[in-house]
Structure 1
Amino acid sequence: MEYLEFELPIKELEDQLQKCEIIGKESDVDVSKTCEQIEKKLKETQKEIYKNLTPWQRVQLSRHPNRPYTLDHIRAICGETFLELHGDRSFKDDKAMIGGLGKIGDQSFMFIGQQKGYNTKTRQYRNFGMANPEGYRKALRLMKSAEKFGIPIVTLLDTPGAYPGLEAEERGQGEAIARNILEMTRLKVPVITIVIGEGASGGALGIGVGDVVLMLENTWYSVISPESCSSILWHSWEFKEQAAEALKLTASDMKKLKLVDEIIKEPLGGAHRDREKTFESVSNAIIKHYEILKNLSPKDLVAKRMDKYMQMGVFKD
């Protein structure tokens, strides 16, 4: 298990507890009382640290190397029923954007999301979760196929942003994202969107127009990352913590601003601390909202979705 800087007090106590248990096993000394005291202090420290997380610390948790990615969620939720589909039928298959059919119980869903890598080799293979235009065109192809066959759509957002390279711009990155946003507002099937990690800029919004938008507790959703915001405003990355605070990018901020509909609770310490519990929470949230959305007619579904996004950013004096 890897620890972030603010989690080091927890690491020290967990190391102490481990050593205490080893001493108890390898000797005749009764250390059960000492272990209980350390365990009690560990629980108190965990609660104290995780209930007072700053926006920047939540950003760090959303990027934790042990945090489950899109494929982890899909495989855990769907098991062997998941069938990945490839290619945009125009240029190539973008490995940063994955999608395919899977079942939760007896209900089929079209799953689409950004996929990051687990090590240097897979991060390069997945382009660090930054999709090219062909990735967004693949996503749109899968969404239109789902619409044709009446299959609900689930999108999982986890990206530092769309790929900003010259070749991506040459192939129409902006147009691809804009086209997705337009087409997603018109889809005649339920669309459930969940931010499972980083939700940065148009990279996330390109598959983020849902009937309901949910966020895991330790995720963020913003037009720009704290580091990029800091470099623009202060010409340095040193002010990323202040930028994270000012951007109001946490799940609780998004809920207060009515930009997302629900926050999915994570296990104490983050999604990576108890993956199975996280997967169960995400699966339950998908089913809960689908059960509501499936009762709407295609016409009402589109009208309600359009109204939802038209209301955003409207203020009255």
Structure 2
Amino acid sequence: MQLVPVGVGTKKRRGVERLPTSHRLIEELHLMPFQKMQTKLPTRQWAIVGHPGSGKSTFAAQMQSPMVVIDADHRFAEVMRHVAGDVFSLSDNASDNVDAERIAALLRQNMVGSGVRTVVIDSLTAIIAPLVTAAVMDNDAGRNKNRAAAFKPKALAMRLLQDAITGYGVDTLWVYHLRNGMDAKAQAIESTSISTVELARLRRSLNMQLRVVEQSGKRGVVVDWARCGRSGLTLWDDTGCWKGMPERIEQAAYGGLTVEDMERIADSTPTSFVSAQAAVAWGFEQGAFNDAVHAQNAYDKLKGEKLPKTSSEMWKLWISEVRDRLQREPV
């Protein structure tokens, strides 16, 4: 039978038999135009944070290969021996790995048909931090009439990176750092190398946030947040190189959950947060604020006005604030 792209039915035209009903013919020839979606684990859209030297890059080496590494820290070669398959560099030009526009262009040029299963950004800090430093220096030098506008390149770079990296549907791992410091009262604090605002923006591209911890000479990973899985879990590494850890995390977070369970978790309102950053990110994601900066300012204002004595008090206040805003006119 000759296939001709005309109508349906079984009439003949000029000696050529027309096709039977299109969907029936497709079934007969097993040429389904779409593939049936199968229930499976969520794509690994993960971020991991930890102190320098805590093993974040080694963890990244345990992600699925082939992988392409945006080696912004220029140190991934040190852990390549832990990767089970092929590792591709984004570019031989080191500067390409810290330039959001070049990263997007190179991914657009090379990702399709590459077979890459994971994109590793190691680290996001090295891409974003120089933009923040430049903005602060320009503001301090009085070169900007609008001080807030100085940070626009950082916001645009973050958005460009997210859209470019997550658009291919492969696993992703965003790496950033924890650092120790002192607050205005000379109290020791721990902060992240990516601001609260940028982490809130990043969260739309994530379904899990991980944190490296160390205790009694052992290293582990805490699942601080999972969009549709279990959170608050700690898994300890007994291999020295995180071997099999991504699979263990998936089993711990998703094992035994039905699709309905995952949807329920994703739609539920939290009762607590691991940090103020997580609280702001959640509030922003609910659609209660114009942007992440608006969410951050609202959180700071609420804390300053109510002066909660404990974190749990602040979480209750913040959840109530977000709910109240959602009941008003949409932003």
Q: Look at both structures and tell me which one has the larger radius of gyration over its CA atoms.
A: 2
Under a length normalisation based on structure 2, what TM-score does the superposition of the two structures give?
0.34
Structure having the higher helix fraction is 1
Q: TM-score, normalised by structure 1?
A: 0.35
